[in-house]
Each structure stands twice: as C-alpha cells, then as structure tokens.
Amino acid sequence: MWQEIENKLYKKFSFKNFSEAFAFITQVALEAEKMNHHPNWSNSWNIVEIWLYTHDMGNKVTEKDILLSKKIDAIISK
C-alpha cells in the first residue's frame, strides 16, 4: 500500500534477488518515461523504494503521481 509521507507517495518493494528488483526498475522506468514523470527511488540488492511527487508543482502529490503509482502496482500484479 502506498503511503503519503511529507507530500510524497512512498512504497517499499521486496524481491527474491537483485535481478528481479532490477527488472522491476526497468519496467517502471519505461512507464515513467512514457508519462514524462520520473520517480525518485533507491535500490539495495532486492529492495526498491519509490517516492512519487511532482517537482514542477511544488514537490507535492498530484494526479500524475497517483496514475504512476497505479501503473507501478499493475507491474507488480503481473
């Protein structure tokens, strides 16, 4: 479940290994690029943490962030 923390949507994802985490990052990157809306994230081995917020709207959560979070959830659901 996405959490709103300090005007950012946040979610932590855990995978079996680095390869699965990296494959997920790649899929998210493709969706984000299509939207021209890029997340902040970190990756450490099998953990990916994502923060979504709109930089040009005062670093707040907007509809773009909500839409991207839904697309990310759809990637996980595959």
Query: Binning pLDDT at 50, 70 and 90, where does residue 38 land?
Result: very high
Can you give the pTM of this predicted structure?
0.93
The CATH code of the domain that includes 26 is 3.30.1360.20
Q: Please, what's the largest Cα pairwise distance for the chain?
A: 36
Total count of domains within the chain: 1
Section 55-67 average pLDDT: 93
The confidence score (pLDDT) of residue 71 equals 97
Report the percentage of the chain scoring pLDDT > 70. Answer: 100
Q: What is the dihedral of CA 50, 74, 54, 46, to 10 degrees?
A: 10
Q: What is the domain extent for residue 18?
A: 3-77
The confidence score (pLDDT) of residue 77 equals 87
The confidence score (pLDDT) of residue 58 equals 86
Q: How high is the mean pLDDT of the chain? A: 96
